[in-house]
Amino acid sequence: MKAEYTDTPDPVPQRLRALRKDSPELCKAALLYESLLPLLREADLMVTPVFLTSDQAMRKLQSGLPLLFDMELGIDLTAASGLMIRLARVLEQAGVGEGSSFSARSIRLAVKEDRLDVGALLAQAASEERGAITSTALDLDLDSGLLWTLTKDVLRPAFREWRRQLTPLTEDILWNRGECFVCGASAILAELRDNNLVRFLRCGRCGADWHFSRLQCLYCGNEDHRTLSYLYTEGEGEKYRVEVCEKCKGYIKVITTFSPTPPELLQVEDLATLRFDFIAQGRGYSRKTDIPAG
């Protein structure tokens, strides 16, 4: 496993411009990302450094535990609140979607006026406790979906930093699971590289990538080719497809790429392939990264 991305030309604005041109229906969302992504990139949450020896890292992975499992993770709360306020302000000004300006404004003010416990929210988002965030939102009359998304976004720069600190330890370690070996989040996308012979999974939270068998369902481990298949659209099968498993009804979107997608572009690629979510979900498959509200 290796993951360090120090690309010199900035691929993000370029990719977003192409997306706006190719998919006019995603134009508003792409414009929004153009404003949000630089905030996430520039954010310095002053995370506490994480340390593991190579032996400790290897033992954790061999026991099936992600590297960050059980580690003390520290983020500067003033910096995190500031980032949440800046992200909410962009959404407020963009006003995409019905009521979202109002929802974003309400969250921004709740953070600014200290009515929201940002530390508790971050801890809940880090352990995927959506229910707890939903009840906080209900108590304060805030949009629970937006609060969940914003809190997860605030965490992204921190997890990326921890991933950068830890991945040099794990060059040759095997990890055959659908959850990220660094942070434990479910894979957001799969990539086929090296002339389609090798499949990698990507983590949307920390940006990690890891090799995963091509002929296996990442959710249930099913290896029976009769119950694993692809969905794709006319003319796009080479570049984009969806892998589906009949056994667990899970799906994951797959992109063919020459080189690993830079971490901050993963969300953009997820957006760019939104139509495949509709196709797969329309046929009764679900992406196991989607945690139901409640």
Establish if 182 lies at the interface with Zn ion (CB under 5 A): yes
In the complex, least distance from residue 189 CB atom to Zn ion, rounded to whole angstroms: 12
Q: Report the Cα 196 to chain-centroid distance in Å.
A: 23
User: Closer CB to Zn ion, residue 19 or residue 181?
Assistant: 181
In the complex, least distance from residue 226 CB atom to Zn ion, rounded to whole angstroms: 13
Q: How many residues bind Zn ion (CB under 5 A)?
A: 16
Establish if 206 lies at the interface with Zn ion (CB under 5 A): yes
Cβ(154)–Cβ(84) below 8 Å: yes
User: Closer CB to Zn ion, residue 94 or residue 220?
Assistant: 220
Q: Per CB under 5 A, which region of 191-199, 246-254, 262-270, 286-294 contacts Zn ion?
A: 246-254
Q: Per CB under 5 A, which region of 55-63, 81-89, 238-246, 262-270 contacts Zn ion?
A: 238-246
User: Closer CB to Zn ion, residue 16 or residue 180?
Assistant: 180
Question: Which has the closest alpha carbon to 177: 207, 154, 211, 151?
Answer: 211
Strand pairing report for 240-245 and 228-231: antiparallel
In the complex, least distance from residue 120 CB atom to Zn ion, rounded to whole angstroms: 22
Residues comprising the chain, all counted:
294
Site string for Zn ion, 97-116 (x = CB under 5 A): --------------------
Distance from C-alpha of 248 to C-alpha of 223, rounded to nearest angstrom: 12
The amino acid occupying position 120 is A
In the complex, least distance from residue 287 CB atom to Zn ion, rounded to whole angstroms: 12
Q: Per CB under 5 A, which region of 47-55, 85-93, 140-148, 195-203 contacts Zn ion?
A: 195-203
Binds Zn ion (CB under 5 A): choice among 132, 220, 271, 274: 220
Establish if 85 lies at the interface with Zn ion (CB under 5 A): no
How many beta carbons lie within 10 A of that of residue 75, not counting itself?
23
Binding residues (CB under 5 A) for Zn ion: these are 180, 182-183, 185, 203, 205-206, 208, 217, 219-220, 222, 245, 247-248, 250
